[in-house]
Chains A and B, each alone.
Chain A
Amino acid sequence: MMAQNADQLPMDYASLVRSRKPSGAGREFPAWLESRRQNARERLQTVGFPTRADESWKFSKVEPVLAQLFSPADSESMALPDMREASLLASEESVRGFFCGDRFAGADRPAAHLADRNEIMPLSEAILKKPGLLEKYLLSKAGVEDNGLSCANDFLFRDGILIHVGKGMKAALPLYTMLAGGGYGQERPAYHPRVLVVLEEGAEATWVLDQRSADDKAYFSNSAVEIFLEPSAHLDWIQIRRENAQAFNLTEIRSCMGAGSRLTLTDYVRGGAWSHLRFNGVLSGDTAACELRHLSILDGDTVATKYIFMEHAASHCLSRQLDKNILSGRSISEFNSIVHVAKQTAGSDSGQSNRNLLLSPEARAWSRPQLKIEADDVKATHGSATGPLTDTELFYLQSRGLDRSVARSLLTFGFAEEVLEKVSVDKIHQNLTQDAQSQLDKMLRMLV
């Protein structure tokens, strides 16, 4: 990986981060965490910030982002709006936690569930209340697929949220986390929120992560999500990324999936200036399963890219990826996904499918599904298709009496719905369906 020459870019995010020491040293964090943070800072000096020369960042356009004049936010002085009103789930139908930038802005749970052993609390509180749990998991996978931006989160995060579901417990209600980025009165702040999800053996939960903008100002959210599924745990995760046209969002996910566990992620992206999702998943126990579904609806100059590394490290594991993007304007998407099947595993089953619908000749979709197979007994499929709606598809609907604009709208929405229909929480499904419908209608009207 090439390091960026930070000295020639004074005041940019990269050089500011390079020169920064871990914040709040010795005051908020215990020694083990302080040491991990310091270690992350040292790794950053070694690995440097990503450049396009790095295959896994090739089309992400990360260099312009790093050159932006973002500076780590002064979260203490932020005036926090109450985001509860904007919540997608009401207080009686979910267990909720709110973040503004990377500052904890409150949590609540329905009175009927106060006795639940399912914990949702800020990391700053968890460090005091659950030191053993945090020491076991927090930043424990740091160093895996390192890059300067993940290191930056590792040593600059000041708070975040812990989701912990105890052994054999089933979270009766969806867990809801809002990460609201925004200017909050600051000039181009950068946030480093962190989420730790631990599902103990046999635990089950549905988790909604709602990443959004609290205002229309420029900001950079460099977030990290660590997920640990112990044997037979099941996490159904819905992630929504809807941000303003000046928002930059990096979401770095590391997920470790134990024997018989199952992770499903349904990821929805609409808007934003730049977003990049990095998913590093390790199916570490036999018969673990992971299903990733993604839908982007992009217009203007939006860039939304993904890098996925799915490691089949044990036998009889299953992974599925369905990645769909609808692009208009000069927007860009990338599906860069590697499935690695390790030696001495048997019965791996993986599938990668990427479909891109181009509504404009200037839009670009890069598709790079890749397989690295070191075992013999493997079932692996991958496929990719990119293009506009075809006359053949449109003709089929027209031949049933629907006019061309209705046919186009139906096909475009149907393209999106294949992902949306997987959203398991009805109210979220309705919200996203309406959101997608209204955005697609707007995009299609502009084509006429």
Chain B
Amino acid sequence: MPMLGIQDLHAEVAEKNILKGITLEVNPGEVHAIMGPNGSGKSTLAKVIAGDPNVTVSRGILRYEGRDLKDLDPEQRALAGIFLAFQYPTEIPGVNNASFLRMAYNAKRKAAGQGELDPLEFDEVLQERMKIVQAPREFLDRNVNHGFSGGEKKRNEILQMAVLQPKLALLDETDSGLDVDALRVVADGVNRLRSKENAVVLVTHYQRLLNYIVPDRVHILVDGRIVKSGGKELALTVEQKGYDWLSVHGRTA
């Protein structure tokens, strides 16, 4: 049984069909890259897995560890090990980043039947996880994403990922807005969090992220459908030739 099993998935945003029959399997230990032009549905695919209420599944199968995801609220999916690093993380003024991380961490422990950590105990965990993603200490004193630059927000998403240690991480254009140095730091963090037990789905417009996080499989999404799948070399082909050579049902996207 795959960790993530998607078959013929159709989904709508604001009554507009965005995903038009996606079939995809992701197994533990794998890294999958979803590439495609703007508007192809890449982000919608990540969001529908995480349970974004703005995305409605109209048809198809969406399973995680054998469970039908459509039955689960976003928080239940998170507690079951799914994590979405947002393309545009929400700013939460007035909520301290460290407190927020502890709340999320404790919610997960509680769901697993473990005791909650107090701020001191949690700080030890946090210190260790911050090293993995080289997050600056001052992140903790600030409010969640509030006043963060685009790049800082992305790093903060990866810090959350490091703290929550998901089984299935969905990274939605985490590379956008990052300069080369920041990209390398984020990619290093993601690589260090990889294991045989967990899986990563990278949504990206460009190939450059895949120089740092090498995928097992690459899927090209055009107009809501996966039009081509292949190994990591497929990303290089896209880099050279763009997306126009890929057609869907006889149409060029």
Check B89–A392 contact: CB distance below 8 A: no
Name the residue on A nearest B52 (C-beta).
Answer: A395
The one of A394, A400, A411, A417 in contact with B164, judged by C-beta atoms closer than 8 angstroms, is: A400
Name the distance in Å between B78's Cβ and chain A's nearest Cβ: 4
Q: Name which of B104-112, B211-219, B226-234 contacts chain A.
A: B104-112
Say whether A137 faces chain B, with CB atoms less than 8 Å apart.
no
Check B53–A391 contact: CB distance below 8 A: yes
Name the residue on A nearest B146 (C-beta).
Answer: A418
Check A401–B104 contact: CB distance below 8 A: yes
The one of A395, A397, A401 in contact with B53, judged by C-beta atoms closer than 8 angstroms, is: A395
Name the residue on A nearest B75 (C-beta).
Answer: A398
The one of B78, B100, B111 in contact with A399, judged by C-beta atoms closer than 8 angstroms, is: B78
Query: B41-67, CB under 8 A of A: which get 1 and which 0?
Result: 000000000111110000000000000
Task: Collect the chain B residues with CB atoms within 8 Å of residue A394's CB.
Answer: 53
Check B74–A399 contact: CB distance below 8 A: yes
Name the distance in Å between A276's Cβ and chain B's nearest Cβ: 26
Check B143–A414 contact: CB distance below 8 A: yes
Q: How far is the CA of A239 from the CA of B103 in the complex (A)?
A: 32
Name the distance in Å between B115's Cβ and chain A's nearest Cβ: 16
Query: B93-117, CB under 8 A of A: which get 1 and which 0?
Result: 1110000100110011001000000
Name the residue on A nearest B73 (C-beta).
Answer: A398
Task: Collect the chain B residues with CB atoms within 8 Å of residue A404's CB.
Answer: 73, 75
Task: Collect the chain B residues with CB atoms within 8 Å of residue A391's CB.
Answer: 53-54
Check B90–A418 contact: CB distance below 8 A: no
Task: Collect the chain A residues with CB atoms within 8 Å of residue B108's CB.
Answer: 401
The one of A400, A411, A421 in contact with B78, judged by C-beta atoms closer than 8 angstroms, is: A400
Say whether B139 faces chain A, with CB atoms less than 8 Å apart.
no
Say whether B79 faces chain A, with CB atoms less than 8 Å apart.
yes
Check A415–B90 contact: CB distance below 8 A: no
Q: How far is the CA of A406 from the CA of B106 in the complex (A)?
A: 13
Check A396–B51 contact: CB distance below 8 A: no
Task: Collect the chain B residues with CB atoms within 8 Å of residue A63's CB.
Answer: none
The one of A392, A399, A415 in contact with B84, judged by C-beta atoms closer than 8 angstroms, is: A399
Say whether A393 faces chain B, with CB atoms less than 8 Å apart.
yes
Are A401 and B160 also in contact (CB < 8 A) when A395-B51, A414-B93 are? Answer: no
Check B90–A393 contact: CB distance below 8 A: yes
Task: Collect the chain A residues with CB atoms within 8 Å of residue B107's CB.
Answer: 400-402, 406
Check B51–A400 contact: CB distance below 8 A: no
Are A401 and B79 also in contact (CB < 8 A) when A395-B51, A396-B86 are? Answer: yes
Task: Collect the chain A residues with CB atoms within 8 Å of residue B51's CB.
Answer: 395, 398-399
Name the residue on B nearest A407 (C-beta).
Answer: B75
The one of B75, B78, B90, B111 in contact with A392, judged by C-beta atoms closer than 8 angstroms, is: B90
Say whether B92 faces chain A, with CB atoms less than 8 Å apart.
yes
Name the residue on B nearest A400 (C-beta).
Answer: B104
Name the residue on B nearest A420 (C-beta).
Answer: B94
Task: Collect the chain B residues with CB atoms within 8 Å of residue A401's CB.
Answer: 75, 78-79, 104, 107-108, 111, 164
The one of A402, A410, A420, A421 in contact with B75, judged by C-beta atoms closer than 8 angstroms, is: A402
Check B75–A411 contact: CB distance below 8 A: no
Check B95–A410 contact: CB distance below 8 A: yes
The one of B53, B77, B94, B143 in contact with A416, judged by C-beta atoms closer than 8 angstroms, is: B94
Q: How far is the CA of A407 from the CA of B78 in the complex (A)?
A: 14
Say whether A366 faces chain B, with CB atoms less than 8 Å apart.
no
Q: How far is the CA of A189 from the CA of B51 in the complex (A)?
A: 57
Name the distance in Å between A418's Cβ and chain B's nearest Cβ: 4
Q: A395-B51, A395-B54, A397-B92 are in contact. List 5 more A-B contacts (CB 8 A).
A: A399-B74, A400-B104, A407-B75, A411-B95, A420-B94
Q: What are 26 of the A-B contact pairs (CB < 8 Å)? A: A392-B54, A393-B92, A395-B50, A395-B51, A395-B54, A396-B90, A396-B92, A397-B90, A400-B75, A400-B103, A401-B164, A402-B107, A403-B73, A404-B73, A406-B107, A410-B100, A413-B94, A413-B95, A414-B143, A414-B144, A417-B93, A417-B94, A418-B94, A418-B143, A420-B94, A421-B94
The 5 A-B pairs of least Cβ separation, nearest first, read: A417-B94, A414-B94, A398-B74, A396-B90, A401-B78
- Chain B interface residues toward A at CB < 8 A: 50-54, 73-75, 77-79, 83-84, 86, 89-90, 92-95, 100, 103-104, 107-108, 111, 143-144, 160, 164
